[in-house]
Structure formats: C-alpha cells, structure tokens
Amino acid sequence: MLVVVLASFAFSTASAQARQQSAASVREAILDAAMQCCAIEGSYPQTLQYLEENYGLRINEQDYVITYEVFANNVIPSVVVVPR
C-alpha cells in the first residue's frame, strides 16, 4: 500500500513539474517573439494576437492561461503563463 501511495505522489509531483516547465517554455517563446518584433519593427507588440498573426507564434490556449501586458512600446511586456 505504501509503495502505491509513494508512486502516486511521485507521478503527481513529476506531472506538476512538467506542466510548470512547459509553461516556462511558452513564456520564453512569447518573449522571444516579442523581442524579435521589437528588433524588426522598433517597438514591442501591443497584443499577443499580433505575434500570432505576424510572427508565427502558436499557443495552445486550452492548456494555458496567458496574461500579456504592455506598459509602453519601448518596455518589454509582462508575460505570465499558468497551466490550466
């Protein structure tokens, strides 16, 4: 019984860590696309949709909740990605 409980706990922990790593990868992809946009166009994009339409960014929005906030055109956006 103890082995089953420990195995279940280990699987649960590994699964949670994998989701967090995946969310971090999505955040990095968004920031990379935003920096590429800034390098090409001279300012950061105002919306995440702009990156999807013009820079080939593809995000599975069913798996993540994403907050993309822009303060100014010359300041890197704040990006928060949380797994659902």
Q: Would you place residue 4 in the very low, low, confident or very high pLDDT band (cuts 50, 70, 90)?
A: low
> What's the confidence (pLDDT) of residue 22?
87
* C-alpha distances in Å from residue 82, one per residue of 59, 67, 68: 12, 9, 12
Q: Whole-prediction pTM value?
A: 0.81
Beta carbons within 10 angstroms of residue 20's beta carbon: 13
pLDDT higher than 80, residue 53: yes
pLDDT higher than 80, residue 3: no
The Cα 34–Cα 37 span in angstroms is 5
